[in-house]
Amino acid sequence: MHTAAAMRGRGIGRAVLGYLIGVARDRGCRRVSLETGSAEAFAPARALYASAGFEPCGPFGGYPPSPTSVFMTLQIGI
């Protein structure tokens, strides 16, 4: 997810993230996982995800371990 610089700080990313989590919950998903970058430029994204309850996890799906990736997950179901 990327928010244009001119639009940052308005809660757009948080709103999109909340919407997507809600869709996943409504569809019966029990967990939402994501991959983002490990570089400093991705620090705001990682902070957003952490503030929404995402926690670091290992690679998932077909992702291999990578020093340029950060994997995070959020439990949303029982």
Mean pLDDT of the chain, nearest integer: 94
| pLDDT tens digits in sequence order for the chain, 78 residues long | 788 889 989 999 999 999 999 999 999 999 999 999 999 999 999 999 999 999 999 999 999 999 999 999 999 976
What SS3 state is found at 26? helix
The pTM of this model reads: 0.90
Determine the Cα–Cα distance for residues 21 and 41; give it in Å rounded to an integer.
23
Residue 56, both tokens: 């670091």
